[in-house]
Amino acid sequence: MNEVARTPLASEAVRGRRSFLNTAAAAGLAGVGMSACSEKPASAPTAKAVPGAHSNAGEPGGSIHMKPGELDTYYGLWSGGHNGDMRVLGLPSGREITRIPCFVPDALVGWGLTNESKKIMGTKADGSLKYTVADTHHTHASYKDGNYDGRYAWINDKINSRIARIRLDYFICDKITELPNVQGFHGIFPDKRDPVDAAINHTTRVFCGAEFHVPLPNTGGDLDKPENYRSLFSCVDAESMEVRWQVLIDGNCDLAATSYDGKLAATNQYNTENGARFEDMMSAERDACLFFDVARIEAAVKAGKFKTIGDSKVPVVDGTRASNADAKTALTAYVSVPKNPHGVNASPDGKYFICAGKLSPTCTVIELSKVLDWFDGKLDKIDKAIVAEVEVGLGPLHTAFDGRGNAYTTLFLDSQLVKWNVDAAIKFHAGDKNAKYVVDRLDLQYQPGHVNASQSETKAADGRWLAVGCKFSKDRFLPAGPLHPENEQLIDISGDKMVLMADHPVRGEPHDFIIFKRELLRPKQIYALDEFPNAVKDPKESGVVRNGRKVTVKMTSQAPSFSLREFRVKRGDEVTLILTNLDKVEDLTHGFAIPKYNVNFIVNPQETKSVTFIADKPGVYWAYCTHFCHALHLEMRSRMIVEA
Ligand code: RUQ
Ligand code: CUA
Ligand code: CA
């Protein structure tokens, strides 16, 4: 597939293309045909990719090739898209280190099979999983003093509107919450400090935007009245993972951002039209970035100024335009932003939110102090908070920062990354037509969506590395059937010119990711036995305990054997097998599989897991260790005898 047209268009045509995309044009672009729109400005430097870049150690690029035994200097947390997991990468090498299962079963660790993971994932009355599909897009980590504190990360499931929390000490998912009253939960962002108690300078809440409108409650009413469908913005408690409150809004939500002072959360809205049809969602020339005054919302909830919807107990406050026209009492403020914006990102200096235009070739810079002024009644019109609205290229989607005043925005349609200077853009917008805000452009392969730079969304943005998630890889990798991988590209942004360093194929479909310094995490590599209330702490506790038809099998593992060489149950018993790995040696993981019973999971050092199944097939079943642990790994077995 080499059909990517790279012919520069005549300047008029370029200018025409660079005006707003109307409904018809966007409709025509809905397919892969988008790949044809990649006119290249004559000035675009075409950085040479590997292998040249590999040899420039010492230059701005440095080496991204890790010698054997060498460790990466950054972690990357990547969403796994419709694999429903989170991926952990080492950067700059791009090596994938692990995947953390969240929303979808995982065969390696037994996620979705063990009782512990099922409890986190959620089950139906019959004990089976409530959901087995997911669509993760956005991942962000908890903050302290404006930087990551290494406690948690969160990730969304757009399909079933769930938010999962990852413990960053063990790299495991420990809680999942399903948001009520919404569909299409997409954007997610933790607050960076407490909006009410200024002494709390770490994450306490996570904000969640819902894209799709639904009838409220969605229980069969208003089916054919899309004009009554509504969307909500939700706040989840970072510790309890309970939904604290929701805001009923006009329009919808897309991505989310929070301010460094904790006071403001925001979501971009591409469907202020409340449209139910494709063309309706694109009928308005401007949509909005919707701001929330978090402290006022919490005060309203405290004062009982809320309702609840259907069976949900979550307080819902009124954030509609009509009810929030008076700035002095408003819970929300709708800043107008051109046509169907997508990403909204907070600059690391704490001053601005930048909205990427998507169907408008612009980025809009909103000054947060002015938004606060409006809420204080000191600014007469909320749109005066817009301090720049500049053209950057076609299809702007997401923006990253280098901590030196530059923004990096992906241009989906142009297949480019544009580096632009925020201060210069503000000057240009203010009338200084000599202000050159575009600093550099780099062609990408192909159709970039997400972008993030090392430490970009923290006060410690270091402008070292930047990664781009390209939606199409086309010809960049060996063909392997019709499904192409995505292409995650690594770019050195330490110099004036951006340098493309590497392509990495990834299994579909990562969306957003964050990159941060490895020192910010303190991972543990051995569990504490006490993390597990059902731990079998001593091999002597092993055995079979019968309680009617319920049988509990307790077992431990220590390389190369299980504490029970055999165990007996009777046909029809409900068997709960608890296995604690008593090995304390780092990297000494065991597996436990039972043939014909669909059981397989792993236990890491000092970890306990359990499974429950009906022993419905009499016979001999060699349970065995599936994870290579010892020279006698193959001999590491236990015999399950099911008496007829
Ligand atoms: S959104 S491009 Cu979730 Cu941009 Cu993926
Ligand atoms: Cu234990 Cu392999
Ligand atoms: Ca719209």
Among the ranges given (49-63, 147-161, 546-560), the one the predictor scored with the smallest mean pLDDT: 49-63
pLDDT at 508: 84
Rounded to the nearest angstrom, the distance between the alpha carbon of 292 and the centre of ligand 2 is 53
Q: Which two tokens stand for residue 58?
A: 């010492």
Type of residue numbered 8: P
Q: Which two tokens stand for residue 348?
A: 């690391």
594 lines ligand 2 (CB under 6 A): no
- 433-to-139, 364, 390, 426 alpha-carbon distances in Å: 38, 17, 11, 11
- Range 129-133, long-range pairs (CB < 8 A, 24+ positions): 129/105, 131/103, 131/157, 131/159, 131/160, 131/162, 132/104, 132/105, 133/82, 133/84, 133/103, 133/104, 133/159, 133/160
| Structure confidence at residue 32 as a pLDDT band (50, 70, 90) | very low
Q: Which residues contact 305 (CB under 8 A, 6 or more apart)?
A: 317, 318
593 lines ligand 2 (CB under 6 A): no
How many whole angstroms separate alpha carbon 272 and alpha carbon 621? Answer: 60
Chain position carrying tokens 């920062």: 401
| Structure confidence at residue 355 as a pLDDT band (50, 70, 90) | very high
Residue 45 has pLDDT above 70, yes or no: no
| Structure confidence at residue 631 as a pLDDT band (50, 70, 90) | very high
Q: Looking at ligand 2, which atom is closest to the CA of residue 590? A: 1
How many whole angstroms separate alpha carbon 107 and alpha carbon 557? Answer: 20
Closest-approaching ligand to the CA atom of 342: 1
pLDDT digits (tens, 9 = 90+) for 482-539: 999 999 999 999 999 999 999 999 998 899 999 999 999 999 999 999 999 999 999 9
- Range 383-387, long-range pairs (CB < 8 A, 24+ positions): 383/335, 383/336, 385/335, 386/335, 386/336, 387/352, 387/426, 387/429, 387/430
How many whole angstroms separate alpha carbon 445 and alpha carbon 500? Answer: 10
How many whole angstroms separate alpha carbon 357 and alpha carbon 410? Answer: 11
Average pLDDT over the chain, rounded to an integer: 92
pLDDT digits (tens, 9 = 90+) for 387-403: 999 999 999 999 999 99
φ, ψ dihedrals at 115, nearest 5°? -65, -40
Stretch 187-205: mean pLDDT: 96
b/e per residue 230-250 (b: at least 16 CB within 10 A): bbbbbbbebeebebbbbbbbb
Residues with CB under 5 A from ligand 3 (ion): 270, 284, 287, 340
Is the pLDDT higher at 169 or at 198? 169
Residue 599 has pLDDT above 90, yes or no: yes
Closest-approaching ligand to the CA atom of 78: 1
| Structure confidence at residue 479 as a pLDDT band (50, 70, 90) | very high
Residue 241 has pLDDT above 70, yes or no: yes
Q: Looking at ligand 1, which atom is closest to the CA of residue 187? A: 3
In order, the DSSP letters of 29-95 are: TSSGGGGG-----TT------TTGGGG-TTSSS---PPPTTPPPSEEEEEE-BTT-EEEEEEETTTE
Residue 28 has pLDDT above 60, yes or no: no
The residues lining ligand 1, judged by C-beta closer than 6 Å to any ligand atom, are 137-138, 186, 342, 397-398, 449-450, 511
- 19-to-12, 13, 282, 394, 409 alpha-carbon distances in Å: 11, 10, 15, 9, 18
Model's pTM, two decimal places? 0.91
| Structure confidence at residue 63 as a pLDDT band (50, 70, 90) | confident
Rounded to the nearest angstrom, the distance between the alpha carbon of 394 and the centre of ligand 2 is 54
pLDDT at 61: 53
Closest-approaching ligand to the CA atom of 20: 3
Residue 56 has pLDDT above 60, yes or no: no
Q: How wide is the angle at C-alpha 51 spanned by C-alphas 50 and 52, nearest 5°?
A: 95
pLDDT digits (tens, 9 = 90+) for 526-582: 999 999 999 999 999 999 999 999 999 999 999 999 999 999 999 999 999 999 999
pLDDT at 356: 98
- In contact, 247 and 272? CB cutoff 8 Å: no
Strand-pair category, 332-338 with 316-318: unpaired
Q: Which residue spans within 305-447 are E strands per DSSP?
A: 316-318, 332-338, 344-346, 352-356, 362-367, 386-391, 396-401, 406-411, 416-421, 438-443
pLDDT at 19: 54
In order, the DSSP letters of 493-532 are: -SSSS-EEEEEEEE-S----EEEEEGGG----SS--GGG-
Alpha helices in 104-214 (DSSP H): 115-121
278 lines ligand 2 (CB under 6 A): no
φ, ψ dihedrals at 372, nearest 5°? -65, -40
590 lines ligand 2 (CB under 6 A): yes
Q: Looking at ligand 2, which atom is closest to the CA of residue 626? A: 2
Stretch 86-114: mean pLDDT: 97
Sign of CA dihedral 176, 179, 185, 191: negative
Is the pLDDT higher at 246 or at 17? 246
Residue 43 has pLDDT above 60, yes or no: no
Type of residue numbered 303: A
Q: Looking at ligand 1, which atom is closest to the CA of residue 469? A: 2
How many whole angstroms separate alpha carbon 336 and alpha carbon 155? Answer: 28
Closest-approaching ligand to the CA atom of 398: 1
Q: Looking at ligand 1, which atom is closest to the CA of residue 412? A: 2
pLDDT at 620: 98
Residue 18 has pLDDT above 80, yes or no: no
633 lines ligand 2 (CB under 6 A): yes
Closest-approaching ligand to the CA atom of 603: 2
- 468-to-139, 305, 397 alpha-carbon distances in Å: 15, 43, 11
Rounded to the nearest angstrom, the distance between the alpha carbon of 298 and the centre of ligand 3 is 29
Stretch 314-338: mean pLDDT: 98
- In contact, 451 and 417? CB cutoff 8 Å: yes
- In contact, 336 and 288? CB cutoff 8 Å: yes
- In contact, 421 and 406? CB cutoff 8 Å: yes
Rounded to the nearest angstrom, the distance between the alpha carbon of 400 and the centre of ligand 1 is 14
Q: Which two tokens stand for residue 14?
A: 């370029």
By alpha-carbon position, which residue is closest to atom 1 of ligand 2? Answer: 590
pLDDT at 417: 98
Q: Which two tokens stand for residue 401?
A: 């920062």
pLDDT at 290: 98
504 lines ligand 2 (CB under 6 A): no
Type of residue numbered 140: H
C-alpha Rg value of the chain to the nearest Å: 26
pLDDT at 92: 97
638 lines ligand 2 (CB under 6 A): no
- In contact, 163 and 208? CB cutoff 8 Å: yes
Q: Looking at ligand 2, which atom is closest to the CA of residue 636? A: 1
Cis peptide leading into 92, omega within 30 of 0? yes
Q: Looking at ligand 2, which atom is closest to the CA of residue 559? A: 1
Q: What is the largest CA-CA distance in the chain?
A: 88
| Structure confidence at residue 12 as a pLDDT band (50, 70, 90) | very low
